[in-house]
Structure 1
Amino acid sequence: MANVLILGAGYAGLRAAKLLAKHASQLTITIVNDHPYHYESTQLHEVAVGNKEPADITFSLRASLPDNVNLVVDTVTKIDRDQQRVELAHHDPLPYDYLINSLGFESETFGIPGAEENALPLIDIDTAVAARKHLEETLAHFSQSQDPDDLRIIVCGAGFTSIEYLGELVHRLPKLIDQYHLPADQIKIDCIEAMPKVLPMFSQDLADYAVHYLESHGVTFHTSTPITQIDPGVVHSKDTSYTAHTIIWTTGVQGSHVIADSGYAQKRNRVMVQDDLTVKDHPNEYIIGDVSAVPDPASGRLYPTTAQIAIAQADTAAHNIRAQVSGRTPSKFTFHSLGTVCSLGPTSGVAEINMLGHWKFKGVIVGPLKKLVNDRSVLELANVRTMLESN
């Protein structure tokens, strides 16, 4: 029997395990993950603001994985490709015949001085909970300090996660204002972005709607404003400085550092893969999800790292491993986006859907769309029971 080892139980890894488990008579399947749970990374911003609890966006891996998939809860430290084994922090190395590397993402600071030390990233449950705790404690502290910077919040970056975080934030702020008896007119929210456009993945009219919605709820955007340094409580952009005691870092992500540590040819810890998602000269090794770099044949640009594409990659990787074990030719990866949904809190948002045509949505209708996307994701990764328990 072929030994398949899957690294990471995010969208890509968990989906691949579920599909391969249907063919366990030919395979031994093991998945390695840092934690005994899966978390919906697309909803971390909701936990970071306090509109959801960690339990709302997590589910048990053991309860959701098929019985014929082995689960190892440990941290991957290195991939020994010559020996075909994976080194772990607390267990003996695990050998493999086929490897699916879906190790996930880490925060990207782009080498900006002070970003790692003085800003709060949103990359997992622990960092989201830390961001929420800091936000609430800082706002509560104003009653004693009367320091205006306790009422100031800076979001670094204006990409997808940044905008969704801001939407959740402005939705919850009225409750926080009442809870901590804050002066609403003194709260200041700044969003600082190096690029000239917000939400470039959307058409201009939808991006404008999102910006105008957030501006009407107190957010000030500073585009074409590259961040050059972050000191405690201060974000610098060339000759301009912005002060706040809550600084959220959502400028971008990179792949797991294990990629570079294991000697891959990589950029930002993402590996350029073959058209079947394998690594050059390693036909038994698949790299998918946030650690893969896949060019769009139409544009030549790399696909963005999204949950939707990670699940599609998992489908291809699982299919190709089954093909290789059976002596058939692997298939090329193809991807057709079903669209993009960006929430602005639970009561608004923007969306472009590519099903039965191209559809644009904005406003309250996006809330049910977002829930549909989240439910579909859980169903593809786990089962109906897990999906129903997450509601």
Structure 2
Amino acid sequence: MSNIPKIVILGAGYGGVLTALRLQKELNYNEADVTLVNKHDYHYFTTHLHMPAAGTDKTENARVSISKLIDEFKIDFVKSTVVQIRTQDKKVILEDGTLSYDYLVIGLGGEPETFGIPGMLEHAMNIRSINSVRLIREHIEYQFARYKREPHRTDYLTFVVGGAGFTGIEFVGELADRLPELAKQNDVDPALVKLYNIEAAPSALPGFDPELVEYAMQVLTRKGVTFRIGTAIKECTADGVIVGEGEEIKAATVIWAAGVRGNRLIEEAGIETMRGRVKVDDSLRVPGNDNIYVVGDNSLMFNAEGRPFPPTAQIAMQQGVTCAHNLVASIRNQPLKKFEFKNKGTVASLGKGEAVGLAFGKKYKGGVAALLKKAIDIRYLYIIGGIPLVVRKGKFL
């Protein structure tokens, strides 16, 4: 039997892909067997999904084939769905087989967190995957056709987005651009179209710079977004949402973009979690399981003030790099590196040609921020796929 250590990476999101690509670069041939497991044969850009969801871009532009990213001589790719993680046996049960591991990296991505709001899981849609945004786009377009058949049903033309964090704001920005186009194409009076963004927190983009938040809300209000800030959704029904003290907003479309939790498979594996996320140690390992690493939406880490880092693509990418380093160090019996998040800035798009951002210690808004957002996206393409991927995808981002 081979004594070569087996590394299994679950999930090809930002954290999983960066872990795999760095291992590919740092490991020598035959130093470890590395297997990447993902339920799709592509990696998708979560930070770009709001565009195809609204219909302002094609879904193809938000994904890239995994085979174009990895070296098949260094990384084995298995297209399958994870069913169970057995930490005692060091095995991962897939829907069509079993993998054993010496080192495990969990980067399975998050699931919608509805905070127990009745009806949200049953009646709302989520911007979480290529398939989910395809459904959202087709659903939105279908509402205009439905209205033409039943012109008394103005709820078909009412769209509610729950959550005014980055995902919610970026989506309403794109949707505010798209809805007038759909109204024109379908000969619908645009004045009948309503777009609500509802947020329970006292501010949109919670925790972001107040000046930039104000600018973002002004831009989106001009585009036709009606904000309900400091207003909680109490229930989601087949007919819309109940907000505040019992007010009903009738809407045939509700998109929930207000929360992410970790993956339930981790809890089912007996690993201690907080809302499905693992409070990892400084080296990104599961406490008590030195051979299991957790990255991305599944990990929980705290900043110097004791507040949890938000599950962003930026932190997942940096975790992937550190995780790969520590896996190589473990195999070579070298000291592990502590993970330190270096915030390179944050940019939120507000639709075509508009964005707000903080980067390099400065505030950006408008067209300059939109260009900065594009530069960030292109940088990521370069990191994972070099110049060829930038040439292929860069013009679409």
Report what 2:382 is aligned to: 379
**CA–CA separation in structure 1 for the residues paired with 2:115 and 2:259:** 9
CA contact (8 A) 1:171 1:345 kept: yes
Counterpart position of 1:248: 255
What is residue 95 of structure 1 aligned with on the other side? 100
Partner of 1:42: 47
| 8 Å CA contact retained: 1:7, 1:103 | yes
Whether the 8 Å CA contact 1:64–1:386 is kept in 2: the answer is: no
CA apart distance, 1:316: 0.8
2:271: which partner in 1?
Answer: 264
Report the 3-state secondary structure (helix = DSSP H, G, I; strand = E; otherwise coil) of the residue aligned with 1:251: coil
Query: 1:285 is matched by which residue type in structure 2?
Result: I
Letter aligned with residue 144 of structure 2: L
Could you say what secondary structure the match of 2:330 adopts?
A: helix
Matched, 1:336 2:337: no
Query: Residue 6 of structure 2: which of 3, 22, 33 is its match?
Result: 3
For the Cα contact (< 8 Å) 1:347–1:367, is it kept in 2? yes
**CA-CA distance at 1:378 after TM superposition:** 2.0
Distance 1:255 1:380 in 2: 26
Letter of the 1:353 partner, please give it. Answer: A
Amino acid at match of 2:254: I
Q: Deviations over 1:331-378 (max 9, x none)?
A: 111011000010011210101003xxx111101112221111111112
Show the counterpart of 1:228.
Answer: 234
Aligned pair partner of 2:70 in 61, 65, 70: 65
Residue pair 2:176, 2:195 contacting (<8 A) in 1 also: no
Change (3 A) 1:94 1:24: farther
2: CA distance, partners of 1:163 / 1:368? 18
Code of the residue aligned with 1:232 in structure 2: it is: A
Q: Secondary structure at the match of 1:383?
A: helix
Unmatched segments (≥5 aa) in structure 2: none
Among 1, 9, 17, which residue is 1:14 paired with?
17
Task: Check if 1:217 corresponds to 2:223.
Answer: yes
Q: Give the residue type in structure 2 aligned to 1:386.
A: L
TM-score (norm 1): 0.97
Which of 283, 293, 304 lines up with 2:300 in the alignment? Answer: 293
**Aligned equivalents of 1:262, 1:195: Cα separation in 2:** 33
- Structure 1 residue 384 displacement after superposition: 2.4
Counterpart code for 1:78: Q
Tell me, yes or no, if structure 1 residue 302 matches structure 2 residue 308.
yes
Seen in structure 2, the aligned counterparts of structure 1 residues 76 and 24 have a Cα distance that, compared at 3 Å, is: farther
| Cα distance in structure 2, aligned partners of 1:2 and 1:384 | 32
Partner letter of residue 308 of structure 2? Answer: L
- Equivalent residues in 2 for 1:196-207, closer than 5 Å: 196-207=202-213
- Alignment pair present for 1:114 and 2:119: yes
Equivalent-residue separation in structure 1 for 2:46 and 2:93 (angstroms): 25
Q: What residue in structure 2 maps to residue 183 of structure 1?
A: 189
SS at match of 2:49: helix
1:116 is displaced (CA, Å) by 1.0
What is the alpha-carbon distance in structure 2 between the residues aligned to residue 223 and residue 115 of structure 1?
19
The Cα RMSD (Å) is 1.1
Question: How many Å separate the matches in 2 of 1:318 and 1:112?
Answer: 38
Q: Which runs of 4+ in 1 moved over 3 A?
A: none
Match of 1:144 in 2: 149
Return the alpha-carbon distance in structure 1 between the equivalents of residues 128 and 58 of structure 2: 15
**Conservation of the 8 A alpha-carbon contact between 1:5 and 1:30:** yes
Query: Counterpart in 1 of 2:284?
Result: 277
SS in 1 for 2:367: coil
Which runs of 5 or more residues in structure 1 are unaligned?
none
Letter in 2 for 1:348: E
- What does residue 165 of structure 1 align with? 171
TM-superposed deviation, 1:262 = 1.2
Q: Deviations over 1:205-233 (max 9, x none)?
A: 00000011111111111112111111112
Matched length: 386
Correspondent of 2:354 among 333, 344, 348: 348
268-277 or 364-373, which moves further after superposition? 364-373
The two structures have a TM-score, normalised by structure 2, of 0.95
